Chains A and B, each alone.
Chain A
């Protein structure tokens, strides 16, 4: 059996700087398109000659062919994807072509959230994989209970999707908090768990979806459990080194899990004990 899946060429239709170190790339297939992505799934994004990195979709547009990936420049490949300032030499411009493989991984389990309150909790760039969940819920009024979106960021200028956050307020409870208030910031200051006191949690019928740094995920899951939410109703999106996306390279193991197949979205009942083991 061949384990090689060639990437399909996708053209950068738009590159929108979100923050000082993150860019949203809207990608359109040059010819054939990948199968439809589900919220929470990721693509292996290939910058020719530089390398390939797993990036969750941050929006699925049109008939599903147009994909948006929000990338934070943290390494060689993600840096090559992000053209942060107009004068930058590195980074993609509209018209450039990347290779895309996917869709890979488990998506957010939105079926189990049918009829339930959906509580989205994001830290930093962690809002990117959760944005399609918000789109999904808002596009299907009546299918879910109340939608809550709690966002933690370093500072106001590090917030992703500021325009959208404002629009979501019309139909969702949106709460934003920052670690470092800059002059003019009128919102909440503190970690994202502090926002939990402010939303009513119907613990018997709420589905919580978490993404952010692992420390943030652990502490938020703990805070939710302490408030009576069962672990299997808490889904988290985890991150480990991924080379292939298809369960063949062995890099993304977290104990028994191959996170590219069994994750990145896993429920807390199955992952909480794994996250507690150091260097697993």
Chain B
């Protein structure tokens, strides 16, 4: 991980071009969320028998990489892979501090091991750090 305040880094790089780069590789398969020891997101499934007299609710693991995860009557808020990868990484390394007062990453490396396209969150964080600290005259805009 880069030697930086990751909380600040994540909050300040939401529009970084690096997200497009990682989104071009990410399959949004959700493997990282399945193996991450701190991922806690769940969904609920309702079942009923044919008579309708008996109903059950089952809590199931969910993943922020699923399109339905952010579904809001007739539309998915995070429709692009870019936004879903960004949600996963910024939550883990950034907004976790806002919500729980610590990092959401324990450093176990499982998400790196299980990623089918070898995305490494430490590399992504470092790339964001590099972009955030790029020379002032290299704004990425055409001259």
Contact = CB atoms under 8 A, between A and B. Distances in A.
Partners in one complex: yes
Interface of A: 4, 46, 48-52, 74-75, 78, 239-241, 243-244, 247-251, 253, 255-258, 277-280
Interface in B60-89: 62, 64, 69-74, 77-80, 82-83, 87
Interface in B72-112: 72-74, 77-80, 82-83, 87, 90-91, 94-95, 98-99
B15 A50 contact: no
Contacts of B46: 49-52
A52 B44 contact: yes
A248 B61 CA distance: 12
B14 A251 contact: no
B52 interface: yes
Interface residues of B, number: 37
Interface of B: 11, 14-15, 40-44, 46-48, 52, 54-55, 57, 59, 62, 64, 69-74, 77-80, 82-83, 87, 90-91, 94-95, 98-99
B117 to A, nearest CB: 21
Contacts of B94: 256
Contacts of B54: 49
Given A239-B72, A240-B77, A277-B15, A256 B95 contact: yes
B70 A251 contact: yes
Contacts of A244: 42, 44
Main secondary structure of the interface of A (DSSP, over half): loop
A240 B70 CA distance: 7
A50 B54 CA distance: 11
20 contacts: A4-B59, A46-B57, A48-B48, A49-B55, A51-B44, A51-B46, A52-B57, A240-B77, A243-B43, A244-B42, A244-B44, A247-B99, A248-B40, A248-B42, A250-B62, A253-B95, A255-B95, A278-B83, A279-B82, A280-B14
B87 A253 contact: yes
A75 B73 contact: yes
A243 B48 contact: no
A270 to B, nearest CB: 11
Contacts of B14: 277, 280
